[in-house]
A = this chain, B = another copy of it.
Amino acid sequence: MIDLFKPVRMAMIGGGNGALIGPVHRIASQLDSRIALVAGAFSSKADQSRETGRQWGIADDRAYADWQSLLRAEAARPDGAELIAIVTPNDLHYPIAVAALEAGFHVMSDKPATTTLEEALRLQEAIARCDRRYGLTYTYSGYPLVRQAREMIAAGEIGTVRKVVVEYVQGWLSSAVEAEGSKQAQWRVDPARSGPGGCIGDIGVHAFHLAEFVTGSTVSRLLADLAAVVPGRVLDDDCTVLLKFDNGARGVIVASQISIGELNGLRLRVYGDKGSLDWRQEEPNRLTWHKDDGRTEILRTGTPPIGPSGAAATRIPGGHPEGYLEAFANIYRDFADSLREGVPSALVPGIEDGVRSLAFVEAAVTASRTASGWVSLEHQDVPA
């Protein structure tokens, strides 16, 4: 007899040392009791890894000092972790993911999948080869009303999509905070750690992912203008990208990290020939639906008009706001269900999303650098 509710055992690599994203993964993964955190290599310093482990209820002997040890030891235990969450700096996502898959683990990786498109394609190949599941935390796809929008568009509620406007604006890099000690800023403005994209890779990809996720369409061409606005930067901190989708729709991405006063201003508008949808991450529990008869409806989480995918992503009654952590948790929950049920989830971003995002970043950076106008977003298969 299978116990459907036996939680998936997870180990986390990275996430200690006061990083923000570690606790987010911890909270999100465990919010619904579908996943149990049983081990971790939270830091490359043994002491810190153990200290973080103690805070999170991990026995000392499962708080490892390096990820290689973790993979080896957990693979050997009968009650070892089944799933590895990768929460390290970006440049380690790729080697850890491949090693974990090869050691027989499923993987949930913080975004980006890898730092280059080539790596992403290799990772895609490794996932197929190892026959393991791989999830990628494109968080915003976990919001109930993002899923509602996706479901409505798939059902034809706004007709054929014609125009997509995604803005993702932040202001926290509007001055050279990297020179004032901000670690969050330092690695983001450093090409060695971030790869070729700055703002485009950090948040532009979220906008890009959301556009494809919600519309169900694929971007085929783009045109980009990337700028390093703050003096001294080499990576872009402000970008505009024009999109053409394979169905003929057009799109615009406005992404910026120098927009003073903006916090996490992700907004998605999709215009079809029968209606439109408008959603903002900072007020995530409302979705505006304009119809072609002139009527405007406000869809709110936890109310009867919300369809199955939005309703399933909500835990508490309407009017009790849920936010970012709950959206993040939805991705973990769906991934856990997918593992337990042995079927892929259409809602959990995977390596395909990772590959496309890296293709997007590389195309945008190249297009902008050469002022080449429209470029194709096609990509080759993994190099032999």
A87 to chain B, nearest CB (A): 14
Q: Mark A317-336, 1 if CB is under 8 A from B, else 0.
A: 11111111110000000000
Q: Is the CB of B5 within 8 A of A55?
A: yes
Number of interface residues of A (CB under 8 A): 92
- Give chain A interface residues in 304-328, CB to chain B under 8 Å: 304-305, 315-326
- Residue A15 at the B interface, CB < 8 A? no
Q: Kindly report how many copies of this chain are found in the complex they form together.
A: 4
Q: Is the CB of B33 within 8 A of A31?
A: no
Q: Is the CB of A316 within 8 A of B24?
A: yes
Q: Can you name the residue of chain B whose Cβ is closest to the Cβ of A172?
A: B317
Mostly, the A contact residues are loop
A324 to chain B, nearest CB (A): 4
Q: Which residues of the other chain, B, contact A325 by a CB distance below 8 angstroms? A: 315-316, 322, 325-326
Q: Which of B167, B261, B274, B281 contacts A276 (CB under 8 A)? A: B261
Given the known A-B contacts A26-B33, A322-B324, A322-B325, are A250 and B227 also in contact in the complex, defined by CB atoms under 8 Å?
yes
A259 to chain B, nearest CB (A): 5
- Residue A174 at the B interface, CB < 8 A? yes
Of the candidate stretches A88-96, A98-106, A292-300, the one touching chain B is: A292-300
Interface residue ranges, A against B (CB under 8 Å): 3, 5-7, 20, 23-24, 26-27, 30-33, 36, 54-57, 158, 162-163, 165, 167, 170-172, 174-175, 223, 225, 227, 229, 238, 240, 242, 250, 252, 254, 256, 258-265, 269, 271-276, 278, 281-285, 288, 290-300, 302-305, 315-326, 371-374
